[in-house]
Amino acid sequence: MPKTLYTHQAHEKDINSISISPNDKIFASGSQDKTIKIWSVADGKLLGTCAGHKRGVWCVQFSPVEHTIVSSSGDKTIKIWSVNDFSCLKVRKLISKKKKFLEKFLFKF
């Protein structure tokens, strides 16, 4: 059975999504508290926070080729974030209200 490495109070509200980077060194968590947090896999240290959604974050996913994360939110937007400085690089308004929209069309725009 795998051993727990660390436990943290990561967000102020429920976590809806977790994604691990392609190099397995960092992971992201998306929460109802409207933020995406970036963490070190090795020690669980918080590396940065992406803030800017107006409602809870439904889904987060790392790009397989770039140092970016994509998030979708209840505010009906998809945002692309820099993993380097945690800034928002691009915003797209969702056409569909469905949570599966991000999973189906991830990185195709």
pLDDT at 5 over 80: no
Cα 63 to its chain centre, rounded Å, is 11
**pLDDT (average), residues 1-19:** 84
Q: pTM score, two decimals?
A: 0.81
Q: Which of 55-59, 76-80, 100-104 has the lowest mean pLDDT?
A: 100-104
Average confidence score pLDDT of the chain:
87
More confident: 59 or 7? 59
Locate the domains of the chain by residue range: 15-95
More confident: 24 or 6? 24
Domain 15-95, CATH 1.10.730.10 — does that match? no
